[in-house]
Amino acid sequence: MEDVVIRTLEKVELRDPILVEGLPGVGNVGKLAADYLRDKLPTKPLAIIYSKFFPPQVYVGEDGVIRLVSNDLSYWKAPPSAAHDLLVLGGDYQGISPEGQYEITERVLDYCHQLGVREVFTLAGFAQGRVVESPRVLGAATNPRSVEALAKSGVVFSRNDPGGGLIGASGLFLGLGRLFGMEGACLMGETSGYFVDPRSAEAVLRVLGKVLHLEIDLTALEAKAKEIDRIAQKIHEAEQRTSEPTPTPGASPREDLGYIG
C-alpha cells in the first residue's frame, strides 16, 4: 500500500491558508489546542490521513462503530476582512517510527503546499518536570523576523530552552516545511509533563489568537482546566493524608497545597 493515504473529503479553494498542527505529545497540549481550535472556529473536514506508520488499530465508538486511526485536516474559511484561511491538522497519533514521522510529515506538507500553504504553526507542550501555575508560551521559528514578531506577542524565546531541540511532528513540520519554502513557528506551552494540561493549551491558543488576529472563545477550555485542577488537588490531598501522617512542625499545609493547585 502507499505509505501515506490522504482521502480528500471536499474540494476547496483556500485563500493563502496557514496550517496549524497539534498532535498528541507532551501534556497533550498540542492536540488539546488543535482539537479545540477545530471545534470552536468552527472548521469543516477536508481530508483524512491514514498510514502504515500509525499503529495497526481501530477505535470503537460508544455506538459500537469502528474507525481506523488517522490524522485529519479541516479547514476554516476566514471572513473577507482576514488575510488567511486556516487549515488545522489533528489526529490520534504521530508516526510510530522515525522514518514514519518523516514520511507522514512530508506527504501532509506536500498536500498542504498544493493547497497554497506557505506558513505553519505547530502547537506543543514543553515539559518542565514541575507544576506550572501560569504557563508561559515558549517559541522557536524558522527565521529571525518571526522570532521578533512573536516575542512582541508575548512568546518567550529562551537561550537554553528547548535545549535538545524539538523532537517529533512539531519540529518536523517546521524543518521539512522549510524544504517546501514554508516559514513558521512552534508555540510550546509550559506544562509539568505529568498531566494532560488544558491550561497550557489555553495559553498556547491565547498567543495563537493574538498572532493570527483570531477571536477564540476560550471559556470551555478554561472550564476544562479548572476541572483538571480540582482532580489534581484531590489527588494531592489524598497523598498528603497517606504519606504525611505527622506533618513537619512549622510547615504550613496551605503552602504545600499551593504548590500543586
CB-CB contact of 117 with 19 (8 Å): yes
Per CB under 8 A, which of residues 19..78 are in contact with a second copy?
Answer: 50-60, 62-69
CB of residue 57 to a second copy, shortest distance in Å: 5
Q: Find the binder of a second copy among 35, 77, 102, 210 (CB under 8 A).
A: 102
Task: Indicate whether 180 belongs to the interface with a second copy (CB under 8 A).
Answer: no
Count of CB atoms within 10 A of residue 259's CB? 10
Q: Find the binder of a second copy among 44, 83, 98, 235 (CB under 8 A).
A: 98
Task: Indicate whether 96 belongs to the interface with a second copy (CB under 8 A).
Answer: yes
Could you give the CA distance from residue 185 to residue 178 in angstroms, rounded to a whole number?
A: 11
Could you give the CA distance from residue 1 to residue 95 in angstroms, rounded to a whole number?
A: 16
Of 16, 24, 75, 19, nearest in space to 208 by CA: 19
Q: Nearer Cβ to a second copy, position 184 or 218?
A: 184
Could you give the CA distance from residue 18 to residue 67 in angstroms, rounded to a whole number?
A: 28
Of 20, 18, 3, 23, nearest in space to 167 by CA: 23
Q: Nearer Cβ to a second copy, position 14 or 188?
A: 188
Q: Kindly state the cell numbers that stand for 143.
A: 527565521
Per CB under 8 A, which of residues 75..94 are in contact with a second copy?
Answer: none
Which residues sit at the interface with a second copy, rule CB under 8 A?
Answer: 1, 5, 7, 50-60, 62-69, 95-103, 105-107, 139-144, 147, 157, 159, 162, 164-169, 171-172, 174-176, 178-179, 186
